[in-house]
Every structure is written in C-alpha cells, then in structure tokens.
Structure 1
Amino acid sequence: MECRPLAFLIGLPFALLALVLSVVGAVIWFIGSLLSCLCPCCICCTGVANLAVSLVKLPMKIIQCFVDMIPC
C-alpha cells in the first residue's frame, strides 16, 4: 500500500463518523450474541449480529476506499 496522506485526511471525517457507527455496532453485536445464547431459536439475532460486525469493520473500509480512489 502506497502512502497517500491527502486521501487519509479527506477520509478522516467519514472514518470518525463510521467509528461512532462501529461502537453502536459493537453494542448491537453484544446484545445479539447474548440473545442468541439465551434463546438459540432466535435466528434473526444471528443476522443482526452479522450486520453489527460489518458496522464494526466500517471505519477501515472507508479509509481504504478513500486511499484507493485518490491517485498519488
């Protein structure tokens, strides 16, 4: 990966917003995991937990997207 500081700086506000969403995703994942352990018949909790995991990964995806879009 090449060093592109301008892309990092442009993507930083979006990544900070995504960081807030990832914290929300972590809370949702914890609640969904807890519910799926308490009641394994709740298959929808697994889908919610998977969605929450994708929210947790969102900040790195956004920064990577901006770094890839901006040329040297």
Structure 2
Amino acid sequence: MGDCRPLGFLIGLPFAFLALILSAVGAVIWVIGSVISCLCPCCCCCTGLANFAVTLVKLPVKIIRWFIEQIPC
C-alpha cells in the first residue's frame, strides 16, 4: 500500500462510515460478551459472539483497504 490511491479512499468513505456504525455495535456486543464469559466461563457461545464482535470492530479498516486495492493507479 505504498502508492497513493485517493479515488479508492474517497469511494470507500461512505461504506466505511456504515461499517463504523456496525463497529460501534460490535464494541457493545464485545463488552457484553466479555462480561458474560467472565461471569460464566462455561458459555462457549459468548466467546464466539465476542470474536464476531471483534471482526465487526475491524470492519471499517478492511473496507477502506479493499476499496483502495480495487482502484488501479
């Protein structure tokens, strides 16, 4: 990602904004899942839910990178 591709970045911004909203939802789910898994460690579904929430938190960065890679120089 050494070269500059501003068009991909600009096209990806609205989608990254939507992903940012999903990221906030993912952060809330992660906090709730972490608290539940600490209280009851036998709940395996809570760890899966927390892992899904972490992927939601990383989503805006993945979307911006994907759009930047799609636009040729």
Q: TM-score of the superposition, structure 2-length normalised?
A: 0.97
1:6-45 aligned at under 5 Å gives the runs: 6-45=7-46
Counterpart of 2:71, as a letter, is: I
Distance in structure 1 (CA, Å) of the matches to 2:58 and 2:4: 21
Corresponding residue for 1:5? 6
Q: TM-score of the superposition, structure 1-length normalised?
A: 0.98
Q: Which runs of 5+ in 2 are unaligned?
A: none
Distance in structure 1 (CA, Å) of the matches to 2:70 and 2:8: 8
Deviation readout 1:1-58 (Å, 9 max, x if unpaired): 1111110000000000000000000000000000000000111000000000000000
SS in structure 1 opposite 2:36? Answer: helix
Corresponding residue for 2:69? 68
Aligned Cα root-mean-square deviation (Å): 0.4
Q: Which runs of 5+ in 1 are unaligned?
A: none
Q: Percent identity among equivalent residues?
A: 75
Corresponding residue for 1:57? 58
Q: Matched residue pairs, number?
A: 72
Structure 1 segments, 4+ long, off by >3 Å, are none
Counterpart of 2:32, as a letter, is: I
